[in-house]
Amino acid sequence: MQSQKTSTPTPDQIRRAPKVLLHDHLDGGLRPGTIVDLARAIGYAGLPESDPDKLGTWFREAADSGSLERYLETFAHTCAVMQTREALVRVAAECAEDLAADGVVYAEIRYAPEQHLEAGLTLEEVVEAVNEGFREGERRAREDGNRIRVGALLTAMRHAARSLEIAELANRYRELGVVGFDIAGAEAGFPPTRHLDAFEYLKRENNHFTIHAGEAFGLPSIWQALQWCGADRLGHGVRIIDDIQVAEDGAVKLGPLASYVRDKRIPLEMCPTSNLQTAAAPSYAEHPIGLLRRLHFRVTVNTDNRLMSGTSMSREFDHLVEAFEYSLDDLQWFTVNAMKSAFIPFDERLAMINDVIKPGYAELKAEWLFQQAVVTPALASGSAAARG
C-alpha cells in the first residue's frame, strides 16, 4: 500500500489541510451576491450585471485579459460598494468566513484605506470597520467549527502620494489588528523608491512591510524593493526568474539578485492563477513556482484576488498538484514557509506551525492507515470456503 506521504492528495484533503495566506486583497475577494446587495443599498448603478452568478463570471472574464492594467480596472466596482462602515464590516466578516471554510488558519488581508473615503469615512474609521469585520468573521467561523486568525495589511497606492500617511496609520494600529504595510498598483512608471519616506519611517518604527514587486515589471522593481526600500517580503516576485538561467542539460545558474533573494530567505508571495491572468506566466506547468520550489526559495502560495481569479487557496493547491504532482509534504512545505514569513510575533508563528499546521498535515498523511481494504465478492466467497 502506498503511504499518503508519497501519494497525490485528493481535493477533499487539500480543502481540509491547514493553509496560510499572505497575499489576498479585501476588495478582490467579495462574494458576487454581496456586491449586488451593497450596490442596491447605495443606489450604485454601475454594475455590468445584476445577477450574482453572471456578475461573478463577468469579473473573471474581465480580469482574464493578460493585462495588469485591465485587471486592476475591475476593482472600480468592488471599491464603489465598499464606502460605508456597514459595507466594510460585512465584506471583512465574509472574507474571514470564506477563508476559514476553505481551511485557511492564518491570513493577512490587505486593503487600501484611501480607497474607501468617498462617503465621508475617515482613514481611522475605515481601519476600525475592517478590523471589526475580521473579528466578527473569526467568531462566526468558530461557530461553524473552523478556526482562523486574520491580520490586516494597510496598503498605499503607488500612483498616489499618501504612503507616509498610511504607514503612520499602520503603525498606530499595529497592536489593534494591523500587522504591516504594503504598496500596490501598477508597477510601470511608479517605482517603489517614490515612497522611500514611508519605508524609512516604518524601519525606524521596527514595523513590517511587503512591496508589490516583480509582477508586471522586472528585476529593477525587485531590486529597488529590496535594496533601496528594505522590504521584508516580495508581493509576487515572479520575475525573479529572469535572473535564473537553466541550461539545456538542466544545470541552473543564479544571478546575483536571485542568489541574494534565496540566500536571505526573502519570502515570495506567489499567486499562480493571478499571474496567468496578467500574463506574468503562460501556464501552471510553466509557472516559475515549480523551479523556485526545486531551488528552495522561500516560496509561498496565495490567491491575490479570489473574485477576479475565481479561486481559493484550495484551488491554487489543486492546480499545483496537477501541474507538478505535489504531495502533502510539498503543500506542508509551502504552508510552513508562509507561516514563517507572517508578520506576527515569532512565538505565535512557531505555535501555529507546531500546534496547528504540522499536526493537521500529519493527520492527513496518516489517513491511508485507516482506509478500508476493498474486498471483492469473489475473494470474499473464496475466503469463506477456505475457512469452511
Q: What is the CATH number of the domain that holds 196?
A: 3.20.20.140
Q: Assess if residue 264 is contained within a domain.
A: yes
* pLDDT, position 35: 98
Mean pLDDT for the stretch of residues 146-162:
95
| Degrees to nearest 5, angle at CA 60 with 59 and 64 | 115
Average pLDDT, the chain: 92
Q: Assess if residue 375 is contained within a domain.
A: yes
Q: Assess if residue 3 is contained within a domain.
A: no
- For residue 142, the one-letter residue type is R
Per-residue pLDDT band for 193 (boundaries 50, 70, 90) equals: confident
* pLDDT, position 69: 67
Percent helix, percent strand, percent coil in the chain, to nearest 5: 55, 15, 35
* pLDDT, position 167: 98
Helices and strands, counts by H and E, the chain = 19, 10
pLDDT beyond 80 at 182: yes
Sort 295 into a burial class: Cβ within 10 Å, 0-12 / 13-18 / 19+: middle
Q: Both ends of the chain: CA-CA distance in Å?
A: 29
Per-residue pLDDT band for 296 (boundaries 50, 70, 90) equals: very high
Catalytic residues: 215
Domain count, the chain: 1
Give the predicted TM-score (pTM) of the model.
0.93
Per-residue pLDDT band for 5 (boundaries 50, 70, 90) equals: very low
C-alpha to C-alpha distance for 54 and 50, rounded to whole angstroms: 8
* pLDDT, position 284: 97
Mean pLDDT for the stretch of residues 127-140:
98
Q: What percent of the chain has pLDDT over 70?
A: 92
Q: Assess if residue 73 is contained within a domain.
A: yes
Q: Assess if residue 326 is contained within a domain.
A: yes
pLDDT beyond 50 at 252: yes
DSSP annotation of 242: G
Q: Assess if residue 2 is contained within a domain.
A: no
Per-residue pLDDT band for 369 (boundaries 50, 70, 90) equals: confident
* pLDDT, position 1: 42
pLDDT beyond 90 at 66: no
Q: Give the 3-state secondary structure of residue 339.
A: helix
pLDDT beyond 60 at 93: yes
If we measure between CA atoms, which residue out of 98, 33, 38 comes closest to residue 306? Answer: 98
Mean pLDDT for the stretch of residues 87-110:
98
User: Domain span at residue 305?
Assistant: 11-387
pLDDT beyond 90 at 294: yes
How far, in Å, are 52, 192, 195, 206 from residue 328 at the CA level? 34, 36, 40, 36
* pLDDT, position 215: 82
Per-residue pLDDT band for 3 (boundaries 50, 70, 90) equals: very low
Q: Assess if residue 6 is contained within a domain.
A: no
Q: Assess if residue 348 is contained within a domain.
A: yes
